[in-house]
């Protein structure tokens, strides 16, 4: 798909001009509609670019403060909530989940430790019974069903991507400890005090700033359909129970819900800032939000394997830390195998590389068919390190 690149706004340090070139190329050659990318190096903003359109009809330019649903890039923010509690001595990663959430002990899950929720190793990648979109919006019902269900595999032995369930599993532990849903806890402890423009869900008063998510182009949609047609029952339960896409994410009901695995809304600047907390080893603007030990713990590998849900989508085995994915042999977050981050369905991404002092946020509204390693994101990451 070849289109002339729109006017790109913002700034880019000379050292990182390759990022601007890749960003422009995404519009010309990779079907970008509207997008933004921000890169922080040692806490300083070295790239902050945006451009294109916030809606499919191309009536609203993408602005500096345009918000967009980032799907699973949200998981980094949810993991951060859990690690704040660990750092404060309120949550033990090796304690059984049932210590905090007694109902979770049902169906043989009494011994599953908290760390297996964060590392997608609890065997609860999806519900076995049909679960509608409306039911997903019901926090109490979704958590009750997860507490009652049995694992798909022996917990702790392998990882399988918990696409939607991750947010309810980790989020309910946060709620049991703090009395707050993750969105409120994040706002109170992190995004509010630091002025980070990111929310789980989207307050109605901010809806005018929200970009319209757009389905992938026809060819990409057919590629996605072909991928889903080959999925095993476990992967189907994880990824399409319920089936969600761009149209759902544009609705007031989705924005009003609390889906801590998938409905975070923010700017690229906000995503870079959140992941920058981890890239900075817990320090932000001279304030130690997390201890260095806690920030390091986020990327503590829990065992590499061919992921039971996403395995076919990667060249090599993957490894999840305690909430985020390691770059590994796939180079998903650059050449440092110990860099880490999270992708969002359709293309978005947050990245943290403590060794390089780098964090990045990339957000967009035209979704691609990829659950991870979208070519637009990879082009930007390659340019950052170049």
Question: Would you please indicate which residues are annotated as catalytic (active-site) residues?
Answer: 72
Classify 52 as helix, strand or coil: strand
Q: Which residue's entry shows tokens 């600047």? A: 269
Which residues are CB-contacts of 31 (< 8 A; sequence separation ≥ 6)? 1, 3, 217, 220, 366, 368
Provide the token pair at 314.
Answer: 């990667």
CA–CA separation, 280 vs 255, rounded Å? 30
**Sheet containing 340-343: order of strands:** 8-12, 44-52, 34-41, 358-364, 349-353, 340-343, 325-326
List beta partners, residue 74: none
Bridge-based pairing state of the strands 198-200 and 68-69: unpaired
Instruction: Evaluate whether 112 touches 120 at the Cβ level (below 8 Å).
Output: no
Provide the token pair at 192.
Answer: 């509010």
Provide the token pair at 250.
Answer: 């544009």
């Amino acid at each position: 798909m070849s289109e002339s690149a729109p006017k790109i706004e913002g700034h880019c340090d000379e050292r990182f001009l390759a990022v601007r070139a890749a960003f422009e190329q995404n519009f010309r050659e990779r079907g970008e509609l509207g997008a933004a990318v921000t890169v922080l190096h040692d806490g300083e903003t070295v790239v902050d670019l945006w451009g294109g359109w916030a809606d499919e009809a191309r009536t609203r330019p993408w602005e500096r403060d345009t918000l967009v649903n980032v799907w699973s890039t949200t998981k980094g923010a949810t993991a951060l909530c859990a690690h704040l509690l660990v750092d404060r001595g309120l949550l033990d990663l090796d304690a059984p989940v049932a210590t905090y959430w007694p109902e979770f002990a049902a169906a043989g899950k009494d011994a599953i430790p908290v760390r297996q929720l964060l590392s997608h190793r609890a065997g609860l990648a999806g519900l076995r019974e049909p679960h509608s979109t409306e039911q997903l919006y019901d926090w109490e019902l979704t958590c009750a069903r997860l507490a009652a269900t049995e694992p798909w595999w022996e917990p702790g032995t392998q990882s399988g991507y918990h696409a939607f369930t991750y947010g309810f599993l980790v989020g309910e532990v946060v709620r049991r400890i703090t009395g707050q849903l993750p969105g409120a806890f994040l706002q109170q402890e992190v995004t509010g005090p630091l002025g980070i423009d990111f929310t789980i869900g989207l307050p109605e008063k901010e809806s005018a700033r929200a970009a319209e998510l757009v389905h992938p182009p026809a060819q990409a949609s057919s590629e996605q359909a072909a991928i889903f047609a080959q999925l095993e029952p476990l992967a189907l339960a994880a990824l399409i129970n319920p089936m969600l896409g761009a149209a759902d994410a544009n609705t007031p009901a989705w924005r009003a819900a609390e889906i801590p695995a998938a409905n975070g809304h923010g700017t690229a600047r906000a995503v870079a800032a959140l992941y920058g907390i981890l890239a900075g080893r817990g320090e932000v603007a001279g304030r130690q939000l997390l201890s260095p030990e806690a920030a390091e713990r986020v990327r503590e590998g829990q065992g590499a394997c061919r992921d039971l849900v996403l395995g076919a989508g990667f060249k090599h085995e993957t490894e999840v830390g305690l909430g985020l994915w390691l770059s590994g042999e796939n180079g998903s977050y650059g050449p440092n195998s110990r860099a880490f981050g999270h992708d969002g369905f359709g293309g978005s991404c947050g990245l943290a590389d403590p060794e390089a002092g780098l964090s990045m946020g990339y957000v967009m509204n035209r979704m691609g068919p990829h659950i991870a390693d979208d070519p637009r994101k990879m082009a930007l990451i390659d340019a950052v390190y170049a």
